Structure formats: C-alpha cells, structure tokens
C-alpha cells in the first residue's frame, strides 16, 4: 500500500526545486528516470520528451489504463538581450503579469539568479503605482556583467521548497505533486490492469505531450493526475466566499468538467463510489477555467474515456503555492484503491 512519508516528501522537494518550464523539462525527466531505475516494465522517452512507462498486468481480461502527470511548469523564456544583464522575456503557460514585478528567478540550466526588475517605490509616483506594469516594461535582470545565458533559456521562480507540519509551500506544486503520485502508483502497480503511464511535456502550453502519449498508448481509459487551484480564501467586505472551485483539506478533487473535458460519467461515479467505500474524503472540482492533459487524451484516436483527479493547492501558477499533506495522501490512496478494483466492465459495456 503506497503512502506519503519522508521519502516521498524529500522527492517532492527535489522536484519542486528543479526547473522544468514547458519545452525544457530535462531536469525533472532526469530525476524521474533515476527514481524508476530497476523498474521491471518498459520505459522510454519519446520524440517530444514524454516518459512512457508500460507495465503489463497478469490477470485475465485486463484493461489498458493510462495514467498521466505533466512534468512541466509555467515560467519564462528569454527572447532578447538588451545588454547590461537585462533580458526581455515571454511568459510560458498561464502567468498573471501583475504578480511578476520584484520576483526572484532562476535562469537557464545553471539556475543563475536574476530578478524581474521594476522601479522601486522611491522612484515612482502615486499615480504610477496604481497602474499595472505591462510585460513589455519588465525585464529579467541578471545584473551587469558576466552572465552566461542564451536567448531561449527558460527561467522560473526562485522559491525553495518549505514544509511546516502538514503544510507545504513551494513553486511548481502543479504538478510535481502529481509526478510523485504517479511514481508511487507505478511502483505499486496492481496486476488486474495493464498500466501505461506518461510523464508528459508541455501541458502548460497546450496539452501537447499528452496528445502524442495517448496516441502511442491507445488506452482503454485514462486517469489524469494533476494539482488544481483552490480558491478558498474568505471573502472580503463581509461576503462569504461561496465560489471556491476546490478547498484545502477536503481531499482529492474529482473533475466532472473543465474547460477542455467533460469527464466520462462512469469514471466520475467509479472514483467517487470508491472513495466512499474506502472512507477517503473527496470533493468535486467545480467546473470553470483551466484544464488537464485529459483535454488532449480523451479526443485522441477514436476517443478515450477520461477523468482527472487533483490535489488542491492555493496560488496556482505563482511564485509560491500552498498544499496540505493529507490532501495529497488521500489522493494517492484513492487512486491506488481505484486502480486495484478496476474490472473490464467499467468501460467495456458502452456508454449508458
């Protein structure tokens, strides 16, 4: 029975502190391949950089079940050198420009330190401070002299992983939480299914890796493992916040629908019934913006019944997110129970 202990938390720390902005996932890929050394199934890296893992089961009449977790994170790419250590940059993935000024970043494979520069308070007027600073006006600043970076290099927030009891604060919890979960599920793969697992690239810029991974695997069904925003802060001016899409502490979030996918209702029911039977808390992620690799997977080839399940975290796609260990543990427990109990009838009897 897989669980989240010190080993898994240490691995999460290593993965969150690694930099893997979309299209340059090498650092995270290396850590995963290292973790899977000695694994008896087949492991390969495809042309786009997805890690594809195949572990056949031993039972009779097995479904081919695809699990998917994206390796990449949102961030930045250097696009022009203005000299003096200053670089223009583009954002990669959904990043809120308002949150960027003043943030420390790490640039390139060598993690060179930089800062997203903005004029300090001393040199701005009250009027200027009310304005949003456009991306054009921001630079990644490595300081004058001696920087060894290249155009095309990626940059990401410089936040280091921290833990305080059951609370984790880090960058890229979306989706390093899913990556560790997937590693545990692969290491504890049940015999009743043929497990095919993808650690995908370029989710944050259009679910691109998952598209080719699903084509290669051609699975009977897919479960995407991700981390989703929790907008569960109290309202201000006395209003109660009733619009949260997920809430910390309520357990894994099962998706009914998101921007890119209407989840297969049989899989939604199956996951929620399994959670109830096992006494695992869960919540339904409220429909709305955002999506997962399921958006690509469910429309690959002749169609793949798909669902997503996520660990909720606050402050998604920013320099620092917050998640709870118990939500993560319960997500792993639910996925493990669900995989163990899958029978061919789940999707082979046709859509009701």
Nearest 5°: the CA angle 23, 11, 149 is: 35
Q: Which of 203, 237, 240, 278 is catalytic?
A: 203
The tokens for 238 are 């006395």
In the bound complex, what is the minimum distance in angstroms from residue 332's beta carbon to Zn ion? 17
Cα angle value 56/70/251 (rounded, 5°)? 90
Provide the binding-site residues for Zn ion, judged by CB under 5 A. 174-175, 226
Q: Which two tokens stand for residue 220?
A: 């009977």
The b-or-e profile of 194-229 (16+ CB within 10 A means b, else e) is bbbbbbbbbbbbebbbbbbbbebbebbbbbbbbbbb
Cα–Cα distance, 139 to 78 (Å, whole number): 9
Cβ nearer to Zn ion, comparing 78 with 177: 177
What single DSSP character describes residue 57?
-
Q: Which residues of 101-112 are buried (b: 16+ CB within 10 A; e: fewer)?
A: eebebbbbeebb
CB 320, min distance to Zn ion, A: 16
d(CA 171, CA 160): 7
Q: Between residues 207 and 339, which has the closer beta carbon with respect to Zn ion?
A: 207
Q: What are the structure tokens assigned to 45, written together?
A: 């890296």
Torsion sign across C-alpha atoms 105, 108, 113, 118: negative
Name the strands in the sheet holding 306-313, side by side, starting at the edge strand that comes first in the sequence: 42-45, 51-55, 193-200, 63-70, 221-229, 306-313, 253-255, 283-285
CB of 34 to Zn ion, least distance (A): 22
Which residue, 66 or 112, is less far from Zn ion as judged by CB?
66
Shortest distance, position 70 Cβ to Zn ion, whole Å:
6
31 or 311: CB nearest Zn ion = 311
Residue 123 CB, nearest approach to Zn ion (Å)? 38
Q: Which is nearer to Zn ion, 24 or 226 (CB)?
A: 226
CA distance 330 to 336: 10
Instruction: Give the nearest distance from C-beta 226 to Zn ion in angstroms.
Output: 4
User: Is 25 one of the catalytic residues?
Assistant: no
Residue closer to Zn ion by CB (options 94, 113) is: 94
Catalytic residues: 203
């Amino acid at each position: 029975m897989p669980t989240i202990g010190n080993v898994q938390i240490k691995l999460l720390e290593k993965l969150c502190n690694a930099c893997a902005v979309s299209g340059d996932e090498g650092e995270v890929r290396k850590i995963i391949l290292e973790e899977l050394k000695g694994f008896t199934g087949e492991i390969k890296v495809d042309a786009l950089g997805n890690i594809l893992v195949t572990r056949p089961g031993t039972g009779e009449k097995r479904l081919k079940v695809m699990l998917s977790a994206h390796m990449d994170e949102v961030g930045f790419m250097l696009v022009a050198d203005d000299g003096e250590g200053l670089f223009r940059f583009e954002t990669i993935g959904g990043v809120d420009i308002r949150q960027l000024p003043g943030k420390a970043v790490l640039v390139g494979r060598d993690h060179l330190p930089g800062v997203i520069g903005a004029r300090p308070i001393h040199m701005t007027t009250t009027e200027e401070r009310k304005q949003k600073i456009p991306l054009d006006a921001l630079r990644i600043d490595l300081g004058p002299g001696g920087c060894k970076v290249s155009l095309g290099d990626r940059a990401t927030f410089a936040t280091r992983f921290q833990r305080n009891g059951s609370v984790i604060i880090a960058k890229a919890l979306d989706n390093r939480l899913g990556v560790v979960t997937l590693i545990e599920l692969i290491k504890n793969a049940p015999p009743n299914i043929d497990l095919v697992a993808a650690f995908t690239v370029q989710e944050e810029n259009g679910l691109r890796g998952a598209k080719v991974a699903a084509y290669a695997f051609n699975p009977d069904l897919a479960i995407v493992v991700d981390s989703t925003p929790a907008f569960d802060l109290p309202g201000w001016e006395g209003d109660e916040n009733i619009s949260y899409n997920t809430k910390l502490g309520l357990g894994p979030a099962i998706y009914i629908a998101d921007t890119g996918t209407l989840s297969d209702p049989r899989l939604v029911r199956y996951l929620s019934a399994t959670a109830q039977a096992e006494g695992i808390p869960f919540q339904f992620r409220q429909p709305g913006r955002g999506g997962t690799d399921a958006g690509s997977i469910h429309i690959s080839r002749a169609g793949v019944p798909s669902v997503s399940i996520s660990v909720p975290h606050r402050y998604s796609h920013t320099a620092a997110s917050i998640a709870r260990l118990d939500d993560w543990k319960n997500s792993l427990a639910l996925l493990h129970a669900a995989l163990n109990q899958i029978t061919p009838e789940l999707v082979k009897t046709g859509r009701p």
